Structure 1
Amino acid sequence: MKIRFSHVLAVGIVAGVAGWMWTGSFVAGGMADSENATPPPSQRAEEAAAKPFRVAVREITAQPRRSILVIRGRTEADAKVEVRAETSGRVAERRVKEGDRVAKDDVLCVLDKGAREAKVLDARAQLAQAELDFTAATQLNEKGFTAQTRVAALKAAMDAATARLEEEKLELSRTIIKAPIPGIIESPMVSTGTVLAVGGVCATIIDADPVLAIGQVSERDVSKLEIGQNADVELVTGGNATGKIRYIGTASDPATRTFRVEIEIENKDGAIRDGVTTTARVPLREESAHLLSSGVLTLNDAGTLGIRAVDEQNRVAFHPVTVLGGDEDGLWVGGLPDTVRLIVTGQDYVTDGQTVEPVATMAGAAQ
């Protein structure tokens, strides 16, 4: 009988398997075949679950920092007075013009005196007559030729004449309108020939020395300011000035919930104009703060902004923070202990109170 090749191949395979089984060497599925072999996935998963979660940490220490509060606003003259007429009359003379600098009590406008001078002369004459009558009655009374009641009546008449004279003189003086404060004449100003009624504006005077930089501060920041604090003021027109806080509002604006702040700036040369947009920077009190990257900030379950750190027992702890400001190096935050082991990698994969394995990193790892 002819032997086929397939029969020979089958016999060879059977003989090979029998020989391998006779040696006793075999590999069980899912188990290492030597002591130094890599453990199977199931074993590695069990070992990983038994170990604490590894996080990258960096120790940060508080640094002294003086933050800057920015106040945006505008300039305003220290005083702005509309000089009004106290009597009616036609403007007969205008002694100044728009833009002139005036001192206190300088004459601004002169009104037509009309019959006022004549009334003063009439009142003076009546007073002189009343004085003569009173003197004569007094002498007669001393001799017993007139009653004391007549002397009293003439005394009253003389006092009335004196009061009328003073009134007429005051009315005449009101035709000369003077500057109540020093400053610069603002446009527009009344023209010669205009008839002013009582209360009509002759001129407007602006006293811009000192000038005020006025802005609004939020209710969160107003407690950081104090009267007398220095401020650097930048003008939108160019240039800078230095001033001091002279007023902090005690009541907020109901619409914006902000407080008025006035910064007084010396302006002897009048270079700073009224109504110019300003940006004031006020250095605040020095405080301890931490500088860190914005990437390490996280939120807790309540939505509070903060960071996660590792305590001495390698447990995760959440610390809320307050952002104080930022620069090119990162964010300045407050509210942390002086020294803290900050989690810079893995903070979003751990929970408060969880024990972890901290791995120290260099400062750059926080970026």
Structure 2
Amino acid sequence: MSRLRSLLFFSLIAASPLLMAGCGDDAQSAPPEEEAPALPVETSAAQVGEISAFFSGTATLTADEETDVVAKSGGIVSRIHVEEGDYVRVGQILAQLDDERLALEVARAETDLLRLERERDRNEEMFARQLISAEEIERSRSAYDAQKAAYDLANLALEHTTVRSPIAGVVSSRMIKVGNMVQTYAPTFRVTSFSPLLAEMHVPERELNKLSVGQEATVRVDALAGENFTGRILRISPIVDPTTGTFKVTVEVRDRSRKLKPGMFGRIGVVYDTHEDATLVPKQAVLTQDD
């Protein structure tokens, strides 16, 4: 039995090199694994600077002041002094209605007033010398006062034949021509103030605590690419629209150059938070979890 075990042991030892050789041949015959190609990577150094959080919205620019200038008196238009696009000051003459008849009425009222003034002064002297009664001097005074009121009314009617602008701005529309018959309180011109202009944004209620009256705003319009205009938040509505979930924020922008026009489409940005010495990296270098 022991002899059989010895023969089996030596047989296994003798076969070991052959087994190892067979294993070596299989390992050498397996193809080598290919390495994945390296992806190109562009590096950039992070920078330290200022970063701001801002709200952006859109709105159509509207005029803060705009008025239809009405004729305070009826009459025929005799002269027009301005045209559409002209800038006018407060009180500037825009047009003149025919005033010949009213000028004659003023002249007649003035003549009667001067006559009654002389009579009153003469009667005052006579009353002081007790040459006329108190009733006579009172009638003289009353006649003068009544004529003074008539004279003032005639002057006012004459003044109303001159159409003046109640605000400073640009003549945006002319509704009359020379020779037209204008009725009292009929519109004659429209004057629009170009500064300030207003932009009304409808802001989601979640942004309510980020905005406040007086905050600076930047305004851009598509028609003036590359130009920025400075404004500020003028008022914030305290009521949220339950239908849209937004509240109204009004931005005021002043433009002395008058490049901005009512009706332009504006893009408004309001910075509500700023961090200094922040670490800045390019936006395209930031990957989200979904990426």
Q: TM-score, normalised by structure 2?
A: 0.72
Q: 1:143 to 1:232 in 2, by over 3 A?
A: closer
Match of 2:185 in 1: 199
Which residue of structure 2 lines up, in the alignment, with residue 281 of structure 1?
269
Is contact 2:174-2:188 (8 Å) kept? no
Q: Kindly provide the amino acid, as one letter, of the partner of residue 263 in structure 1.
A: V
- CA distance in structure 2 between the aligned counterparts of 1:220 and 1:119, rounded to whole angstroms: 67
SS of aligned partner of 2:206? coil
Equivalent of 2:135 in 149, 158, 176: 149
| One-letter code aligned to 1:233 | V
In structure 1, distance between residues paired with 2:186 and 2:106 = 24
* Partners of 2:77 and 2:202 in 1: CA distance: 42
- The answer to whether the aligner puts 1:260 opposite 2:245 as a matched pair is no
User: In the alignment, what sits opposite 2:163?
Assistant: 177
Name 2:35's counterpart in structure 1: none
Matches within 5 A, 1:109-128: 109-128=95-114
Deviation at 1:217, TM superposition (A): 2.0
Q: Distance in 2 between matches of 1:254 and 1:131?
A: 70
Which aligned pairs between 1:57-206 and structure 2 lie closer than 5 A? 66-206=52-192
1:253–1:208: structure 2 CA closer, same or farther, 3 Å change rule?
A: farther
- List gaps (5 residues or longer) in structure 1: 1-63, 288-326, 332-364
Q: Structure 2: 5+ residue runs without aligned partners? A: 1-49, 276-282
Aligned to 1:236: 222
Distance 1:252 1:122, change over 3 A: farther
Closer/same/farther in 2, CA of residues 144 and 177 from structure 1, 3 Å limit:
same
Q: What displacement does 1:221 show?
A: 2.2
**Distance in 2 of aligned mates of 1:145 and 1:252:** 80
Shift in Å at residue 238 of structure 1?
Answer: 3.5
1:211 aligns with 2:192: no
How far off its partner does 1:274 sit? 0.8
Q: Does structure 1 residue 250 correspond to structure 2 residue 238?
A: yes
Percent of pairs identical after alignment? 25
For residue 201 of structure 1, report the CA deviation from its aligned partner.
Answer: 1.3
Q: Per chain length, whose mean CA-contact separation is higher, i.e. which structure has more relative contact order (CA < 8 Å, sep 6+)? A: 2
Write the deviation string for residues 258-307 of structure 1: whole angstroms up to 9, x where unpaired.
Answer: 333222223112111111111211111359xxxxxxxxxxxxxxxxxxxx
Structure 1 counterpart SS, 2:65: strand
Q: TM-score, normalised by structure 1?
A: 0.58
Q: Which one has a larger percent strand, Structure 1 or Structure 2?
A: 1
Tell me, in whole angstroms, the C-alpha distance in 2 between the residues paired with 1:168 and 1:260: 49
Mapped to 1, the partners of 2:190 and 2:142 lie a distance apart of: 43
1:208 match: secondary structure: coil
Which shows bigger deviation, 119-128 or 244-253?
244-253
- Spell out, residue by residue over 1:156-202, the C-alpha distance to the aligned partner (whole angstroms, 9 max, x if none): 21111111111111110111111222221112431111111111112
Give the Cα–Cα distance (whole angstroms) in 2 for the partners of residues 67 and 222 of structure 1: 14
Return closer, same or farther for 1:167/1:258 CA change in 2, 3 Å cut-off.
farther
330 and 70 in structure 1: CA distance in 2 versus 1, 3 angstrom threshold: farther
Higher helix share: 2
SS at match of 2:96: strand
